[in-house]
Structure 1
Amino acid sequence: MQLISGLTKFFRSGWTNPAIPALTAALVALAPQAHGQSLFSPAIRVNQDIVTWYELQQRQQFLDVLGIPGSSEAEVRQALIDDRLRKQAMRDAGIQAAPEDVQAGIDEFAARGQLSTDQFLQALGDVGVDPETVRDFVADQLSWRDYIAARFISQARPTDDEINRALGQGGGGGLQILLSELIIPVTPQTVAQANALATEISRLDTQDAFSAAATQYSAAATRDNGGRLDWLPITNLPPALQEVILSLKNGQITEPITLPNAVALFQMRGIREVSSGTPRYSKIDYAAYYLPGGRSADSLATAARLKEEIDTCDDLYGVAKDQPAEVLDRVSAATSEIPRDIALELAKLDPNEVSTALTRNNGQTLVFLMMCNRTRDLGEDTSRVDVANALTQQRLQAFAESLLEQLRADAVIIEQ
């Protein structure tokens, strides 16, 4: 059952009868409109069931008193239509909440307001909310939870691979972005020219124009594809850049972004949501192996050969054996603690993938950059069981929403 966070605030603030005039004004809007109608006449017909004017008033009054969002007339109507659809599905399946479970739910509501159950129901009764309104509300939530679990639990349970991915041992999901990039190399002698060029490019107004500029000026490997990147989870990007990117509309370009040895520009090409939740990462594990010669043909050839020879970040320890310690960095850090150019390159990589786009030492050293792993930010004590339960609940919620949409589409609903 979804607990109502506004309850504690309501009762701690001190309930008093002067709230009644405001509630009365709200209830007038829900009064039966046709002459001769009673409070117990149908306000809505949902298939073979009805919702009365009295139920509409009671639900709005209940939500208003507890400070729960969704108490407008339209929202209350939709909520009670959904209630009827859920009850019809549960009735057909023979599922009903046990009386003791309903009572426990009401007790929990009261406890969150630091009241006994009797005090809780009395406070509601003083403003005209019938105890049966509370019981129906709680029973519907509990019954629907049990119904969805019984119907979909086998489909909702995650596999071991899905749990691994949720723990940061694989790719992520959630909100994804589609970008184009343009990276202009900078040396102390070319800073002014690079900044002027980047400013000019940032004023372009089409994707084709940006793509042509990336092909001509970008030093990133994506230049051969007009700077176009594949879909990326937004949380792969450094936190400071996420806000900048999400503020863009399709086709818009960022202002020039200063990086070590470069200036970067990004153009938004699309944004989407995928089925899994957006992950947050507590740590990024990566390796940087430094090759002399910058982007010379010899250094790039060495990097290409090395890429073919190794499979994981740990293999780089063997490559760097007997060399000075500074030729290899193995780092585990939060994204916000990682140099921005490295963080941007890592955002494009899956575990054990490599980038050779970056340099150090004013371009004299090539960075062989390898993504090792991303660790999901799930709390220090998170276990596989915790993750499995969280994924299961997330999927059950998605199944519930999808089923309710289908029930709405199939229903005959007549509103007065």
Structure 2
Amino acid sequence: MWEISKMNLNRLTRSIAVLGLGLMTAAPVSAQNLFAPVAKVNESVVTEFEVQQRQRFLEVLNAPGATREGALTSLIDERLRNEAVAEAGIELTPQGIEDSLAEFASRADLSTEEFTQALGQSGVSRETFRDFVVNSVGWRELVRARYASRVQITDAEINRALGETQGSGVRVLVSEIIIPAPPQQAARVNALAEQISQSKSTAEFSNYASRYSATASRGRGGRLPWQNLTDLPPSLQPLILNLAPGEVTDPLPIPNAVALFQLRDIEETSVAAPTYSEIEYAAYYIPGGRTEPALAQAAQIRDRIDTCDDLYGIAKGQPAEVLERVKKAPSDIPQDVAIELSKLDTGEVSTTLTRANGQTLMLLMMCGRTAAANASASREDVTNALRQERLTGYAEQLLEQLRADARIVRK
């Protein structure tokens, strides 16, 4: 689930007038078609009106997925989340809803009423805004209730994340295993991952990697070269640093897969490793998942591109959603994507990841990294960031399971 950045919200008052004019002059749609069903999720219907409203809402906020297909997918996922929240017996109070609306609007330095009026000028109803916020808050409460007890952040992790090895850098030798775990195989894969996490030697872990891992490193027994600790995803750094050489992390849930990492060696260097404020990457989506035709197509594309800009030519004439280009802070990048990006230099490509329950292959390309200015972070900020990263992984895995179990029909 995406989050709206403060920068995007601050652009709301500038962009809304322009976008509103464009929407006001758009070709009219027959009123009788507005409430026609465009999708059915179990027993719940998604209407044409809702899709148009969600797409406008995303456009106004300059949010990812501001296409018709992106809006429809967002609403389908919302129905699944709503069902899970209702089954868990989670209900928001009227005051809680108002407080959540006010908090969201405040990110654009507006009151709820001002924010609602601004949306209305672009044809977005208060109900669309309310439904989006209520769903987001309810889902967050469900994820916290179900998984918070599994997320324990130690002082050692916080200290490591804060970089208390001042004036020096840390490099690590890590081995990886990423096992595809489509929902129908999740139980079997989770059991296998628990077994792998008990590995007693690097040889044993490498044997598992050669047999089960879906990454390019499987041919090397999962062994990765020396990496700066700061190149790893923020949520993974303290987990690696808490290991002794030879030890393995607990299984980490990521979309459609489970990841494990073994520390082989660690060293402190005299030069501080760089940290990054933003990472830019591109994802090109290929139907077929990890089938031979899809992987062959990915290989052909990889041979034709040198930079992320080249992907625009590959995607020309195709629906907008086949290519996504993103610039985010490291802590905001989905964990599975962050893990793959940590292994890539600018212009390099990974084809390890999938989406849509393994039915879509993601060709992931590193566009570039922006070095961070020296900045300080509080222990509370670091704790919250580490906790949120882990909860996000659980939330993504739960949503994938809900999609697999649901009856979803697109009209």
TM-score, normalised by the number of residues in structure 1: 0.49
TM-score, normalised by the number of residues in structure 2: 0.49
